[in-house]
Structure 1
């Protein structure tokens, strides 16, 4: 199994997940990426396509695709002729799709994405700026559509950790703005919010609105559920097996027993069967 990092994450952030997967008998190779490596993306600033919002993955992200390919080649040696499973966290999910498109997918039988913003933000929504500068538009137009077949399976997992809220005005939020993960361990705090978006304290209300502004940049809406970074609706793909997990936070950075992320042991238990089947 190969694991690809999200934007800004490094190899060490996934060490505990790597150990957890190995405990299930899943040999794992994590792409070798440091936080400093992500500064290479600044090369896109000199590309006119960046400023026009039509940026392409190559050559700006060639360095990352090379790291993926190195991990895949190492994994092939371990697999001894068996097919490979790819796991992409956050941006690593859509970058894995770019890799499969550019380098081939014959050896891949599973792409499992964790909190990946697959869909480009809608155009023409006031206040929304495409943070990828066109990269997700390219992925949607040029990369293979998701499938779920015996030969190749796409499994897209989204977290429902916190519901966002609009910055101004009433928000159509549910009774609970945060939901706990479904396990026997201590789980995420629950913040009660009434139907008009007025929480029981100022801090939770501000947090929901702050998170909502991030969601809006990704999917065009603020008052939706997500993992604190990526909205649920953006993490799913037509044609894939789409799964939503309650109480799951986006990142390994800042996660703990009270705020489990996709790679926490109790959460891995809910999706590991896709790797074992």
Structure 2
């Protein structure tokens, strides 16, 4: 049996947004669970606050998956912010920067032994946006690039739209600019290609792929796109 996979939703996304992706992976024989995050679960994290509530749910799902499938390790798929939150979860450094937990807290970080691969889909691994910088700086400074040699990092970017000042490009332009400081670059409509890749990772760019299920075109989890990256779960 293939190694089981856990999907981590993106910021302010619901587990329901990933059910079709999970079903597609299941059809290919990959046991898949989604971290059961609801949109309201993100509220305590607003404004750059602690991701501890999300980390707790991730750990519960990972341990449940390991037990259910009798597997020492799982693969993680992190969509958007779910990708960098996964890097906090895998790392050994206590995530105490918000003073809401102490260094002895269990099940929020140091999950590296349980993870075989991390696949990130449109994850902004860098940002200049003031509210996310505290959390992302923690990740960047403690776990730069594809930090752990025993974990396979695969970072997938979408190249769907160039940011610009014209109608239809402005949202992408603004999103790219607060992420990398430049708006007239390529990305998936939310995350620029540059930010979605990590040094030392297997970096993949998919043409005409948008950020999320609510995007105007096909996204990373669309049936016709999954075959372009599903082999990374092997």
Bin the TM-score by the shorter chain.
0.7 to 0.9
1:26 aligns with 2:26: no
1:260 aligns with 2:221: no
Partner of 2:199: 238
In the TM superposition, what is the alpha-carbon distance from 1:152 to its structure 2 partner? Answer: 1.8
RMSD: 1.7
Partner of 2:56: 66
Does the residue aligned with 2:127 lie in a helix, a strand or coil? coil
Higher-Rg structure is 1
Cα distance in 2 between the residues matched to 1:130 and 1:10: 24
Q: Which residue among 210, 213, 230 is the counterpart of 1:272?
A: 230
Cα distance in 1 between the residues matched to 2:116 and 2:148: 10
Matches within 5 A, 1:1-277: 1-42=5-46, 60-101=50-91, 102-121=109-128, 129-143=129-143, 145-146=145-146, 151-165=150-164, 167=165, 205-254=166-215, 259-275=217-233, 277=234
In the TM superposition, what is the alpha-carbon distance from 1:110 to its structure 2 partner? Answer: 0.3
In the TM superposition, what is the alpha-carbon distance from 1:84 to its structure 2 partner? Answer: 1.0
Q: 1:148 to 1:245 in 2, by over 3 A?
A: farther
Q: More displaced, 206-215 or 68-77?
A: 206-215
Cα distance in 1 between the residues matched to 2:69 and 2:139: 28
In the TM superposition, what is the alpha-carbon distance from 1:147 to its structure 2 partner? Answer: 5.1
Cα distance in 2 between the residues matched to 1:38 and 1:223: 30
TM-score by length of 2: 0.86
| Matched-pair contact (CA < 8 Å) for 2:127–2:178 | no
Structure 1 residues not aligned, in runs of 5+? 45-49, 122-128, 168-204
Does the residue aligned with 1:244 lie in a helix, a strand or coil? strand
Does the residue aligned with 1:245 lie in a helix, a strand or coil? strand
Cα distance in 1 between the residues matched to 2:145 and 2:175: 26
In the TM superposition, what is the alpha-carbon distance from 1:120 to its structure 2 partner? Answer: 3.1
In the TM superposition, what is the alpha-carbon distance from 1:213 to its structure 2 partner? Answer: 1.4
Cα distance in 1 between the residues matched to 2:85 and 2:229: 21
Structure 2 residues not aligned, in runs of 5+? 92-108
Cα distance in 2 between the residues matched to 1:253 and 1:82: 34
In the TM superposition, what is the alpha-carbon distance from 1:79 to its structure 2 partner? Answer: 3.2
Structure 1: 4+ residue segments shifted above 4 A: none
| Matched-pair contact (CA < 8 Å) for 1:131–1:217 | no
Cα distance in 2 between the residues matched to 1:82 and 1:136: 28
TM-score by length of 1: 0.73
Aligned residues: 213
Q: 1:14 to 1:158 in 2, by over 3 A?
A: same
